[in-house]
Each structure stands twice: as structure tokens, then as C-alpha cells.
Structure 1
Amino acid sequence: MNHKIKSALIITTYNWPKALELVLMSVKNQKIFPTEVIIADDGSKKETKKLIEKFQKDFPIPLKHIWHEDNGFRKSAILNLAISNTNADYIIQLDGDCIIHKNFVGDHLNAIETSTYLFGSRVSIQESFLAALYKNKVVTFSYLSKGIKKRNRNIYLPLLGALLYKKNNELSRKLRGCNLSYWKLDFININGYNEDMTGWGREDSELVIRMINNGVQGKRLKFRSIVYHIWHKESSKEKLNINHTIQENAIKNKSIWCENGVDKYLSEKE
């Protein structure tokens, strides 16, 4: 058990308070809480701020709102800013369109190892179920629940998962930034997210490639640490080629550092 470690659950969001409400409801349902929750807000309007303020009134742990101006898709920058604003030793990352299983936080904390990042599975909520999802404020799903696909990812057998999956130092195609955790120090040692990567795509995998290059291994949390991704239209991929090139350079050059990273926010705090 690693529940004495100070941990922060970082939730990225952008102008989708209806989804964020369900995500925060699922955080309140956790069997084990992180030390704090930080909403990393990529420039949402006032509706999101009002929603967070409503939850802050009776949230079981500190709930912070870190915001920057809307200047296009800048997930890397808002994550760096949010992570620079926590004293937690361990970071658990989640997207604001992913409802979490009641054991999600505990599954990450129970699997912590030194020099290791963890990543879990993502079940898909179908478009046809959205009306019922929002009307009934559904935040728990069993294997047979309506409205989900990739149902086998919703099998919860944590002991089996722990037996099957071991650490390795190869980038997994299953890696998703919406279900990822790591030591804050491992993040700072590679200068966090590369803010040259704007627009959707590759920012999480490029981060992990630099971690791997710096001696951090990955471990998949199969049959545990489950999230339920709310359907939405795909994001614009206009910057994907640029981001892919940055990632390919990180692989080729065995990079462990990015110039445009988290250190600018950390130096402001010194």
C-alpha cells in the first residue's frame, strides 16, 4: 500500500462541463482518494469555473482549478502549469471526458514502483448512450452495462493483471494520457511536457519516450485502473505531422530533455 505518498490527480478539461461533472462525481466515489485533485483547464469559459466552484463546496479533498487563456490546444502547457502547482510526489493523469472506476486511484497507488510509470485501460461509452448518460448521471458500469463497447477492458481482476504484466522499457501502443501515472521527480528530470507540441496528438507518448530514455520503465495496469471514455467527435489532427516529427526526433536522438518544458514555471516559484 502506498497511500501515505502525497498524490495529485490531474484532470485536463476544455469547455465540456457536462462531462467534467460526471468525472468529478466518479472521483467522489473513489474508495481511496488522492491527496488532492487539480483541474488543468486549457482555457474554458465561465461554466466550467462555476461547476468546479460548486464541487469545491463539499469535495472530500482539496480541489484546485488551474486555468490559462484559450489560445488553441495547449494541453502540454496546462499540464506543466498544473503539475508545477502541486507538492505531491506522485501524479495520476486523467482526461475530463473519462469517468473512473471506483478503484481507479487505489489501483494506481497500489501499483507504484520506483522509476516506473503506469498506464491503464480505457472502455468506450457509445454515442447512442449519451442522452441516458447525462440524464441519469451514470458513473458506474458493470461488465454487462448498456452503452459501452470494448467491454472486455471492463473486466476487473487486479490480481490476475499484476501476475500477467511486468515492467518493460518499450513504448506500448496501448498507452493513453487519460490513464497514466508517474513520479513527479521523473517528470521534472525530463523537463515535463514539450510545449512545442500544440494541437492534438503524440504529446503523452513523446513525454514517455523521454522518460524511457532516462531509465524509467513502464507497466500496464491490465484488469484494473479502468476509465470510461465519453464519446465525442475526433479532435482536429492538423498539427499531428509536426508533433509526430518531434516524437521521431526524441526516439532518434535518445532525448531525455525538452527545451520548452516545465522548468519555466518551477523557476518562477523559487
Structure 2
Amino acid sequence: MTVSLIIATYNWPEALLLVLKSIENQSVLPNEILIADDGSREETKNLISAFSKKSKLNVIHIWHEDQGFRLAKIRNKAIVNAKFEYIIQVDGDVILHKNYIKDHIKNAKKNSFLTGPRVLLSKETTITTLKNETIFFNPFSKKIKNRFNAVYFPLVNYFIDSKTEPIEKLIFKVRGCNMSFWRNDLLEVNGYDEQFTTWGREDSEIASRLIKKGVGLKKLRLAGIQYHLHHNEQDKNNIGQNNAILDKNKSTSSFWCENGIVKENK
């Protein structure tokens, strides 16, 4: 299987560096890394350039101008530019377990997509992690939250099947920072809905359309682990607006997104 790893980032190069270092440490490497950059300043570009010169990883920087929150749009650009059959998607503030990519590959099946767990690092641990450029954690690491998510026992996933219904129970179980898909499935639902221009629900919305298409969702357990750096909470003032977009799209029978990768009537 060939893999494109997409990393979403915005103006946090120190965190992005740790993500990249954790990818270098993977037991199975991706065929390419696409950094989906939602308009970061020059510091991020410089970090990516410096890292690429030293690393054997194939890193591609996908950038557009900062015009506010356009995560859906920059992810769509990365999907279009991805060259390989399977896409693993993470955020630029997570450190990956050494078998993260291996776990997603092992559990990938046709007509299914995956979402995995995350371990939350405390503010104090995050400060130390950034300072020391730490990329190694375990269930006994100090000051981590939801510690059970750090337990690694991937064999349990052989007994878990993907599910296609009911949508209401499944779509809120996904985490956009830890998902993987077949690229063709993403193209056939037309990628992310670019109506989402503030934080929240874009991951649930694309999950609902994949499920409507008949693509099952499998939630990884005790595998596909990532450690999430602490940061201030996103602005949720517009979550009602995003819920309305999600509810409207869920109410239709179509799994095609009109405002996605392909723009209809535009």
C-alpha cells in the first residue's frame, strides 16, 4: 500500500517540527508528506525548508493565503495533490506513536475509513516537550490526560468491524486530527465541504457523506495513538452555524458535496 500523509498546520512551527520528527521515527514511513498550511507566516515555510534539506522524507508544502479559517479548503488542495492511494490525516500539533502509520495501514480495508484515539498532554508537559523536542511518550508519562488511550495493544482491532450505520451515532466519534481514507473515496464524495469557515464539524460532515456512500467507519482502539499538545481552545462561537451546515447536509440523500474539490456551476 502507498500512503500520503497530510498534516494540517497554522502558525505553530515549533509543534510542526515535533510532528515531523515523530514521522521520521515511524516503523513504516509514508511515501510522501503533504503539509496543508492554512496561511501560516514565513516562520513555518522556513521550518519546512530547513527540515526538508536534512530529512530523507518527501515533504511537500501546500499553502494558501491567510483569509481566516479555511481548513476544509487547504485539506482539499492537499487531497488533490496527493499522489498515493491511501491518505492518513493528522494535525500539526500531535506527536505520533512509532507504529502510528503501520497501525493505519494494517487496519485499512476497502470500503472503510478509520479514526483513532489521542492522548492529551497537559500544559506543563507541552511546555517541556516543546523545549526539549521530546517525541517519546508512554502510558506512564507524567501529566497526561485520558491515559488509557496511550496503552498499545493493536491486536484488539482484529475483532472490531467497520460500521456504516446509524450515522447519528458514528459521525461524532471521528477526530479530524486522526483519520485515514482511501483517496478515491474522498474524491467520490468531493472532499471536504468548504462552507466550513470556522472551527468545528467539518470532520463529522465528511464522515456522514462517506457513510451515506456506503463506506464503513472503524474506530481504532489501543492503536493509531497520537499525543496532542496542549493549546488554548478554539473559538466555538460559530459552532451553531456549523451544526446547521452539518444537519442540512445529513438530511439529503446525496453524498456529493457541491462546495468541495470540484466547484459546481462556478
AA at the equivalent of 1:166? D
Name the CA distance, whole Å, in 2 between partners of 1:157 and 1:173: 24
CA contact (8 A) 2:19 2:95 kept: yes
Counterpart of 2:126 in 1: which secondary structure?
A: helix
Specify the code of the residue in structure 2 equivalent to 1:222. R
Instruction: State how 1:190-205 maps to structure 2 within 5 Å.
Output: 190-205=189-204
State the shift of 1:253 in Å: 1.3
Q: CA offsets, 1:85-142, max 9 Å, x none?
A: 1111111000001111000011001111001001110100001212211121111101
User: In the aligned structure 1, how far is the partner of 2:99 from the partner of 2:138?
Assistant: 13
Q: Is it true that 1:22 corresponds to 2:18 in the alignment? A: yes
User: Does the CA-based 8 Å contact 2:172-2:204 persist in structure 1?
Assistant: no
Q: Residue in 1 aligned with 2:179?
A: 180
Deviations 1:150-194, CA, capped at 9 Å, x for gaps: 10000000002332x211113253310100000111001111000
Letter in 1 for 2:251: K
- Other structure's SS at 1:109 match: helix
After superposition, the C-alpha distances for 1:172-227 in whole angstroms (9 at most, x for unaligned) are 53310100000111001111000011110000110010000011000011000001
Greater displacement, 40-49 / 54-63: 54-63
1:140 is matched with 136
Structure 2 unaligned runs (5+)? none
CA distance in 1, matches of 2:139, 2:157: 17
What CA distance in whole angstroms lies between the structure 2 residues aligned with 1:92 and 1:257?
A: 21
Query: What is the identity, as a one-letter code, of the residue corresponding to 2:92?
Result: G
Q: Which amino acid aligns with 2:256?
A: W
Rounded Cα–Cα distance in structure 2 between residues aligned with 1:111 and 1:152: 20
2:54 alignment partner in structure 1:
58
Work out which of the residue numbers 8, 22, 25 in structure 1 matches 2:4.
8
Quote the residue 2:86 is aligned against.
90
TM-score (norm 1): 0.93
Residue 219 of structure 2 corresponds to: 220
What TM-score do the two structures reach when normalised by structure 2? 0.95
Q: Which 4+ runs in 1 deviate beyond 4 A?
A: none
Helix, strand or coil at the partner of 1:91: strand
* Structure 2 counterpart of 1:156: 152
SS at match of 1:79: helix
- Higher mean C-alpha displacement, 233-242 vs 64-73: 233-242
Kept in 2, the 8 Å contact 1:188–1:263? The answer is no
Confirm or deny: 8 A CA contact 1:42 1:75 kept in the other structure. Answer: yes
Kept in 1: contact 2:123–2:231 (CA 8 A): yes
Sequence identity percentage: 45
Deviation, 1:254, is 2.9
Is 1:238 matched up with 2:241?
A: no
In the alignment, is residue 169 of structure 1 matched against residue 168 of structure 2?
no
Aligned residue number for residue 110 of structure 1:
106
Contact 1:162–1:221 under 8 Å retained in 2: no
Aligned mates of 1:155, 1:140 — CA distance in 2: 14
| Matched letter for residue 203 of structure 1 | E
**Further displaced range: 50-59 or 94-103:** 50-59
Local SS of the residue matching 1:93: strand
CA-CA distance at 1:24 after TM superposition: 0.7
Task: Determine helix, strand or coil for the equivalent of 2:27.
Answer: coil
CA contact (8 A) 1:158 1:222 kept: yes
Letter of the structure 2 residue corresponding to residue 174 of structure 1: K
Conserved 8 A contact 1:177-1:204? yes
The residue number in structure 1 matching 2:70 is 74
SS of match in other structure, 1:200: coil
Q: What's the RMSD between the two structures over aligned residues?
A: 1.1
The amino acid across from 1:247 in the alignment is L
**Does structure 2 retain, via aligned residues, the 8 Å contact 1:7–1:88?**
yes
Distance 2:238 2:71 in 1: 13
Which deviates more, 16-25 or 56-65? Answer: 56-65
Output the CA distance in 1 between the equivalents of 2:122 and 2:254. Answer: 38
Quick one: distance in 2 between partners of 1:95 and 1:182?
15
